[in-house]
Amino acid sequence: MVAAVFMIVLAIGSPRRRQSQSIIIRYGVEGVFILSSPLVSHTLGLMGGQIVRSELYGVWGMFLAMLFGGTNSMSVQKLYENNKSMKLYCDYLLFIFYLGMVLGIFVIDNKNLPQIRFVAMALNVLLATKSLEQWRVAALASKPSSENGIKRLVLYMKHEHELSTSYDPRTMQGYKYAVLIHEGCDELGEGPITLEKIWSDNIGVLSSSNNLNIHRLKDLCLSFSLFHLVVRRYFGYACPESKLDKSRHLVLDGLLRTECDSERAFQVIEAELAFLYDFFFTKYAYIMYGREIKWCALSLATTFVSIAVGTWSLCSLNMHHSNLDDNLVETSTQDFMVTKIVFAVLSTFQLLQIWSYCASDWANVSLVCKYARHPSWHGNACIEKLLLLLGRPHKWLRYWRNTIGQYSVLDSFSSSYWARLKHHLPRGKAGKPKELTMEVKRAIAHTIKHSVCDRLSHGASALMKHHMSNELHWACEISDEFTLIHSILVWHVATSYYEISEADTYTNQIYMHSNQKIAISLSRYCAYLVAFAPTLLPSRPMETTCILDDFEQEAKEQFQNLVSPKEKYEKLRELHNGAGAGGTMVAELLTKGAIIGKTIEGMGNRMIRWDLLADFWAEMLVYIAPSDNVAGHIELLAEGGEFVTHVWALLMHAGILERPAAAATAVP
């Protein structure tokens, strides 16, 4: 029963790890995953050491062995576990030992049924072979090799720009980015399947330029090709294409060609990051890379043989008044029924594992590439109908949680007991996540499109655009004393100040100006990154945490016993006027925030004020996104991911691998 419950938790919870930051899902799945291997080893060891045992021990042992194989949707829970190949190998050897012990029990308890022994032995061989996947999956994701194709990709991308003299990002003409690069993908000697080939006009149903389903499949192949470039960077290789105009045009003139295309651009990135998550945390890459047929055959064989062994064993058990050996305990009707139910659940689970891969994007990309490679498939009505069916968007399909975290410094402290207790929980200080609206995505896309050609800015360009450079240029000057983290916190306070000052204007959220929503949500999201994802920001994580802790402590002292937003607003006004301000650096940050907020409050038009703040925060998020910490971004994908990772990936494919020096972007 425990094995069945664990399998259900893994099957349901594992895919939701990247879609939710729920503590229940996160720690529930991790707990089950951690306990699975010790549970199997401990229980099988106890079963082997029992002198008097149940008739069902052999069947129960088989259930636990099926649990050890785990689920396709989760191979490891943390990124670093892929490098622990020796531990996985030792776990596998221990499992083989216990599997042999269970087989011995099964053979002894069924000595009157010699036929079932051979079937049970076959099942043990299949389970041993299938359980080896866990070790090989980790090896695939732990280092570049010919098997995962990264070494081949590194050599290929060094010369990709030499394969074509012209390019068009709208039609992918000249973009010979490889889609399939793993070992054996070009066994026909035709070279790798490229984006240019899939987008060409002579590939059967893929040439249907007006069919939205086909467009989705092509974009899926684009995501698949781009995800390999991120994996290459994770393994420490250079990105030579980042210096080429061709890469920048792929994003600016291809994915972000018009304002309406921003939705498509982020959909491509979402699918790309889903592939990235699957590569490091699931078995899908291992299955696709040349093993689809073998894996399906092994999975089906294991499922049907286990069904045969289980059914045969249950039907042949000596029930009631039977002549049992001295070392066997008669099986009760309740044990018999529970075993049948668990057996049905586990058998169904095994079949669903096969279906989960066949319905995945990995299988879709594989089918599209096979279709492009085999001209004999072109015109095949069945295959083309299947492609059109697979290309249909599903409303229930969601790669990531469509929300962004929120955190407000002014709301981070409270005198209530529950609030103080909540702060000790993971992300307890965070506010309720906000929906990631299309307006926010468009604002980010607009900023990227108009910043990449020049230089990324941490707010200076927004001030110039709205003619506020003279008044607020000092607030964008970064130095060793006033870091980028300080700037984020100061402007966050300024945004909160102005938000409170207009509280009476937008008591009904429906009538909020779109840029007002963008500014507030991005301000709180950037503060959220400072509080809960410092590894993704420019400064050292420990330094960022210390700055925030000091800032929160100062805010708590300044706003103690102040409950309502209006009271905090009045306190900030006092700080602006010089009353109550301390002499410390942290106290000056609150004062600077109040000064900026008061300056913005004095701008002539309300809409222009929110336009400035929206542009500022869009620039700030784009500015902090470039990073060399590839592992940090990938690690957080297993916890639901962050929107800044989507921006990071989009900038990387546009050739922006690092942010410019802060001093170089300041306004004189």
Q: What tens digit of pLDDT does each residue of 230-251 get?
A: 999 999 999 999 889 999 999 9
pLDDT value of position 323: 46
Q: What is the pLDDT of residues 425-454, one digit of tens each?
A: 555 577 889 999 999 999 999 999 988 766
Tell me the C-alpha to C-alpha distance, in Å, between residue 152 and each of 186, 504, 585. Answer: 12, 61, 52
The rounded mean pLDDT for the chain is 82
CA distance 570 to 549: 23
- Mean pLDDT confidence for 299-316: 78
Report yes or no: 487 and 624 within 8 Å, Cβ to Cβ: no
pLDDT value of position 125: 84
pLDDT value of position 225: 96
pLDDT value of position 493: 95
pLDDT value of position 236: 92
70 Cβ contact list (under 8 Å, min separation 6): 10, 33, 36, 134
- Sorted by where each begins, the domain ranges of the chain are 2-144+291-347, 150-286, 403-424+431-665
Tokens (6 digits) for 187: 């066994």
Which residue from 119, 6, 14 is spatially nearest to 67, judged by alpha carbons? 6
pTM equals 0.89
pLDDT value of position 606: 85
pLDDT value of position 495: 96
Residue 187 has pLDDT above 60, yes or no: no
Sign of CA dihedral 305, 307, 310, 315: negative
CA distance 346 to 325: 29
At 348, is the pLDDT very low, low, confident or very high (cuts 50, 70, 90)?
confident
Residue 325 has pLDDT above 60, yes or no: no
pLDDT value of position 320: 42
Q: What is the pLDDT of residues 283-295, one digit of tens each?
A: 899 899 877 888 8
At 341, is the pLDDT very low, low, confident or very high (cuts 50, 70, 90)?
confident
At 667, is the pLDDT very low, low, confident or very high (cuts 50, 70, 90)?
very low
pLDDT value of position 113: 60
DSSP string, 591-651: HHHHHHHHHHHTSS-HHHHHHHHHHHHHHHHHHH---S-HHHHHHHHTTT--HHHHHHHHH
pLDDT value of position 663: 42
Which is more confidently placed, 199 or 115?
A: 199
pLDDT value of position 83: 84
At 275, is the pLDDT very low, low, confident or very high (cuts 50, 70, 90)?
very high
Which residue from 120, 138, 141, 18 is spatially nearest to 70, judged by alpha carbons? 138
